[in-house]
Amino acid sequence: MIVVRNKIDLQKKISEWKAMDLKVGFVPTMGALHEGHLSLMKIAKSNADRCVVSIFVNPTQFAPHEDFDKYPRDEKRDLDLLRSVNVDLVYLPSVADIYPNGPAADLKAGPAAQGLETLIRPGHFDGVVSVVARLFAQVGPDIAIFGEKDFQQLQVIREMAQDKKLPIEIIPGPIARDEFGLALSSRNAYLSPEELKIARRLNVILSDLSAEALAKAEAAKNCPPTLPSPHWGEGYEGLAQRAYPELGGDIIEDAKEKLLAAGFDEVQYLETRWNRLLAAVKLGKLRLIDNVAVQ
Ligand code: AMP
């Protein structure tokens, strides 16, 4: 595995591969790697000839009160994990490599960034697109893999790639979970045993909610006149499609109660978008995010 620490060395290697007509897959990370990250590298390996991973804790996506300084950093452990999945090249840039004029969230994320995470972390996605656009420009990948764990981020990046007409295919990676369904995250290591038990309820409550919503939508499809709706003119299909959001209010309030009853301290959001049910909750000092399909 090649380890490069500046963009000159990176670009030398990438140019060699491009000259050989090799397809380059890229997985940007902030390190503190776990199986969820490694699953993305496996996707990159099976869809490209070379797999490049970056580890860069990006200062511009953290708000001043967030955990930038405390973000877990363990380079040796990360490199060992990357070797175990046969990554070809790891890029460990300095801040100056990425931000020669000093860190700045100078690119603005598009409409996908509205709401959800942005309600809680304003400006976060500007920092994300600012770093990802620079990494894309330096690595020049053919494909890039982003986890569905950060579903809104995936949409923001897709939108950016489309807007900038980048010749990069954005491939989503399914959420890697522990045996209880808890979405893997670098921050899970900070959960106490008691908090871990509570955290593992998140995906269960979301999946139940999704199943309940689907069952109601299905029932509405079979029995549309029971659904009081200004949209009857749309026919059965239109009604069924709208059934979820129209019935969503009660179900969602109910699920928020369930989350609080399970021991979470706060539900920051619980919403449907992109045919997903997306949630952010607080548990002690930590915040957890997760999402499940509703289709
Ligand atoms: P991060 O290092 O947290 O910025 O994450 C790097 C990439 O790994 C992002 O595309 C994340 O969405 C993805 N990722 C993080 N956790 C998981 C997980 N549990 N399953 C799949 N992808 C993940």
Is residue 285 pLDDT above 90, yes or no? yes
Region 178-186 average pLDDT: 97
Distance CA 165, CA 163 (A): 5
For position 221, what pLDDT does the model report?
76
Q: If you average pLDDT over every residue of the chain, what do you get?
A: 92
For the stretch 260-273, what's the b/e string if a residue is b when 16 or more beta carbons lie within 10 angstroms of its beta carbon?
eebebeebbbbebb
Compare 16 and 187 and report the one with higher pLDDT.
16
Asked if 291 and 148 count as a contact pair (C-beta separation under 8 A), the reply is: yes
Q: Which helix (H) or strand (E) holds 146?
A: strand 143-147
pLDDT of residue 252: 86
Q: How far apart are CA 293 and CA 295, in angstroms?
A: 6
Mutate-to-test residue for ligand 1 from 39, 82, 150, highest number of ligand atoms within 8 A of CB: 150
DSSP 285: T
Per-residue pLDDT averaged across 12-17, rounded?
98
Q: Smallest Cα–Cα separation from 3: which of 74, 81, 85, 87?
A: 87
**Is there a contact between 224 and 240 (Cβ–Cβ < 8 Å)?**
yes
Catalytic, out of 34, 37, 65, 231: 37
So what's the pLDDT on residue 225? 53
User: Cβ(150) to ligand 1 under 6 A?
Assistant: yes
Catalytic residue status for 37: yes
- State if residue 201 touches ligand 1 by the CB under 6 angstroms criterion: no
Closest-CA residue to 244 (of 263, 258, 262, 231): 231
Q: How far is the CA of 116 from the centre of ligand 1 (A)?
A: 18
**Structure tokens that stand for 165 in this block:** 């007409």
Ligand 1 centroid distance, CA of 101 (Å): 28
CA of 251 to the centre of ligand 1 (A): 29
**Residues 87/81, Cβ–Cβ less than 8 Å:** no
Q: Which of 257, 253, 263 is nearest to 283 (CA)?
A: 263
Pocket test for ligand 1, best of 37, 66, 81, 289 (most atoms within 8 A of CB): 37
pLDDT of residue 160: 98
For the segment 226-284, what is each residue's pLDDT rounded down to a tens digit?
555 554 454 444 444 444 444 467 778 889 999 999 999 999 999 999 999 999 999 99
Instruction: Report how far residue 287's alpha carbon sits from residue 123's, in angstroms, rounded to the nearest whole number.
Output: 17
Closest CA to ligand 1's atom 18: 36
Q: What confidence score (pLDDT) does residue 290 get?
A: 98
Between these two residues, 247 and 53, which has the higher pLDDT value? 53
Rounded average pLDDT over 128-136: 98
What pTM was estimated for this model as a whole? 0.92
Distance 104 CA to ligand 1 centre (A): 23
Using CA atoms, how far apart are residues 284 and 105, in angstroms rounded to an integer? Answer: 29
Q: Is 183 in the pocket of ligand 1 (CB under 6 A)?
A: yes
Query: Roughly what angle, to the nearest 10 degrees, separates helices 124-139 and 151-163?
Result: 60
